[in-house]
Amino acid sequence: MSWQPEIDELRRREELARRMGGPEKVKRQHDGGKLTVRERIDRLLDKGSFHEVGAIAGKATYDDEGALTDFLPANFVMGRGRIEGRPVVVGGDDFTVRGGAGDAAIGSKQVYAEQMANELRLPLVRLIDGTGGGGSVKSLEIDQRTYVPANQGWDWVTDNLGKVPVVGLGLGSVAGLGSARLVTSHYSLMVREISHMFIAGPPLVARLGQNLTKEELGGSDIHARAGAVDDVVDSEEEAFERTRAFLSYLPSNVFELPPRAACEDDVDRREEWLIEAVPRDRRKVYDMRKVIAAVVDTGSFFEMGRKYGGPVITGLCRLDGWPVAILGSDPRFYGGGWTADAAIKVTRFIDLANTFHLPVVNLSDVPGFLIGKQAEVDGTIRHGARALAALYQARVPWCTVITRRSFGVAGAAHGNHVRLHYRYAWPSADWGSLPIEGGIEAAYRSELAAAEDPKALHAEIEERLNRYRSPFRTAEAFLAEEIIDPRDTRPLLCEFANLAAPLREPGMTGFAMRP
């Protein structure tokens, strides 16, 4: 006698699980402009590659004879699949089942997904929609008890930051534990208009006298500008595309090295316009993103965190096919001067590169830290010093190109001075303890105060000092190793990427990356 009746029962339960919260709840999800969790998984993964785990976990209803009459699946769907042929773990909240709240959850499913990614050393993608297994006061009535708060599985969540790539996608109104799960990742996204994130949502905040809409309290642009999430996209499809792109630059885990891609771009390509990219007038700005696009493999620049920490550009790219982490200065924000949020952005990005063994290229134009009362209020020097610590703790190969300014403590953060200076400078380079503009007043205060014509003396001093600020004078003392034609930047960076490739060492770093 076969076990076919049990197999038939299994298939019946699986079919009931695929109904999710039922047709009405699914329709409500679609009417809100959102995909269901199963649709999301299908769109994210390679076609037909999803292997679900725990599909029939949920709450069953039985008749008096023990026969199944109804079944409500757990509000979390998870399993293994493939992205561009590479195995990944994916887990998503099912908002059609109690809005993703904890009283409908089987928490061990979320923990299992984290543990599976950790122990199988596979990238993890979290599709977060709701509280992500967090609390609901309705649990009091259902369970008839409460509990001392503990974030279940957070040991795995934390450990994963040091072992496997983790992507968090906010795909609805995310609150509490769901918010923490979203931001505890290497790369996080929200979808404009359908995604919101809160520590606590509008009903709770209203008790503070703050009557705000979901968009006003936790809209995607708020969190992108605050640096709580890395990026905002216009659709779920774009979120899945960005996820696939991000993972393509990283190894599956820290015990492997980032994969090289085929490169059809000429490594010796020289963009003629780069020779005039930096204006001779130091007060004029230029487009560093255009410079980055000109020197990396065509179309390979993947920017992260554009709306946060404006003076610093961070992203991933390829050089001769090799994945590289790239930093750049944006002179359109405070002339590239580091703010507190720019320093925080640098710290987190260096930690990402160091965790996954990505060489770093830094296109640097930093006049120093932002100064003034607000800079002191923001604790800029503490955050800047933390960025310096991250730089000096990093062990990945590093190459700097100084395109224009490098002044003070922040300017010195273009590289680790005790390591080999794999460093280039463009002829537009200008460096020192602080810029001549503004520094004359401090250094020559007494002379200017005693002069009959302070303006004339100021102009005389500035003209004299300008003769000494040429980068060629610095190179004469071998304090600037190589001054290069800007058009040679791409060939030299591609050489760096090829030299750096065998120097990368797989394995865990001294500490796990923090959110």
For residue 476 the two structure tokens come to: 């004469």
Position 343 in a domain: yes
In total, how many domains does the chain have? 2
The Cα–Cα gap between 406 and 389 comes to 18
Position 438 in a domain: no
Q: How confident is the model at residue 509 (pLDDT cuts 50, 70, 90)?
A: confident
| Sole residue written with tokens 């008749």 | 63
pLDDT at 467: 78
The Cα–Cα gap between 54 and 76 comes to 9
Model confidence, pTM: 0.93
Count of residues in the chain:
515
Which of 78, 95, 167 lies closest to 131 in space, CA to CA? 95
Question: Are 193 and 97 contained in the same domain?
Answer: yes
Which of 461, 474, 467 lies closest to 433 in space, CA to CA? 474
Count of Cβ atoms closer than 10 Å to residue 284 Cβ = 9
Position 220 in a domain: yes
Q: By three-state DSSP, how is residue 185 classified?
A: coil
Question: Are 225 and 132 contained in the same domain?
Answer: yes
pLDDT mean over 24-42: 95
Question: Are 219 and 347 contained in the same domain?
Answer: no
CB 87 within 8 A of CB 46: no
The DSSP symbol for 258 reads P
The DSSP symbol for 481 reads -
- Looking at 248, 264, 298, the residue that finishes a domain is 248
Question: Are 168 and 70 contained in the same domain?
Answer: yes
Question: Are 239 and 282 contained in the same domain?
Answer: no
Strands 360-366 and 398-407: parallel
CB 47 within 8 A of CB 85: no
pLDDT tens digit sequence for 223-266: 999 999 999 999 999 999 999 999 999 999 999 999 999 999 99
Question: Are 116 and 22 contained in the same domain?
Answer: yes
Question: Are 495 and 415 contained in the same domain?
Answer: yes
The Cα–Cα gap between 231 and 225 comes to 9
Strands 423-425 and 166-170: unpaired
pLDDT mean over 24-34: 94
The Cα–Cα gap between 165 and 121 comes to 9
Q: Cβ contacts of residue 71 below 8 Å, gap of 6+?
A: 13, 16, 17, 56, 58, 59, 60, 61
Strand partners, 173: 196
pLDDT mean over 38-64: 95
CB 381 within 8 A of CB 369: yes
Residue range of the domain that includes 92: 4-248
Count of Cβ atoms closer than 10 Å to residue 133 Cβ = 28
CB 340 within 8 A of CB 379: yes
Question: Are 216 and 285 contained in the same domain?
Answer: no
pLDDT tens digit sequence for 305-329: 999 999 999 999 999 999 999 999 9
13: pLDDT strictly greater than 90? yes
What is the full DSSP assignment across 251-301?
A: -SSTTS-PPP----S-TT---GGGGGSS-SSTT----HHHHHHHHSSTT--
pLDDT mean over 46-66: 94
87: pLDDT strictly greater than 90? yes
For residue 311 the two structure tokens come to: 């003076």
Question: Are 25 and 173 contained in the same domain?
Answer: yes
Position 466 in a domain: no
Question: Are 162 and 19 contained in the same domain?
Answer: yes
Position 239 in a domain: yes
The Cα–Cα gap between 402 and 388 comes to 17
pLDDT tens digit sequence for 206-220: 899 999 999 989 999
**Higher-confidence residue: 134 or 469?**
469
Which of 332, 342, 331, 334 lies closest to 309 in space, CA to CA? 342
Q: By three-state DSSP, how is residue 396 classified?
A: coil
Position 437 in a domain: no
Position 468 in a domain: no
pLDDT at 20: 93
**Higher-confidence residue: 2 or 149?**
2
438: pLDDT strictly greater than 90? no
For residue 506 the two structure tokens come to: 């797989």
Q: Cβ contacts of residue 147 below 8 Å, gap of 6+?
A: none
Which of 332, 359, 405 lies closest to 497 in space, CA to CA? 359
pLDDT at 105: 60
Question: Are 115 and 232 contained in the same domain?
Answer: yes
Q: How confident is the model at residue 512 (pLDDT cuts 50, 70, 90)?
A: confident
Residue 12: CATH number of its domain = 3.90.226.10
For residue 234 the two structure tokens come to: 């216009």
- Looking at 248, 282, 301, the residue that finishes a domain is 248
**Higher-confidence residue: 131 or 500?**
500
Cα-based angle 405, 409, 412 (whole degrees, multiple of 5): 55
Which of 163, 168, 215, 218 lies closest to 189 in space, CA to CA? 168
Percent helix, strand and coil across the chain, each rounded to 5? 40, 20, 40
For residue 461 the two structure tokens come to: 């001093």
Which of 153, 255, 233 lies closest to 187 in space, CA to CA? 233
pLDDT tens digit sequence for 126-158: 999 986 555 566 666 666 776 666 677 899 999
The Cα–Cα gap between 17 and 234 comes to 30
Q: Cβ contacts of residue 269 below 8 Å, gap of 6+?
A: 490, 491
Mean pLDDT of the chain: 92
For residue 374 the two structure tokens come to: 């607000």
Q: Cβ contacts of residue 245 below 8 Å, gap of 6+?
A: 302
Question: Are 372 and 415 contained in the same domain?
Answer: yes
For residue 150 the two structure tokens come to: 């503990």
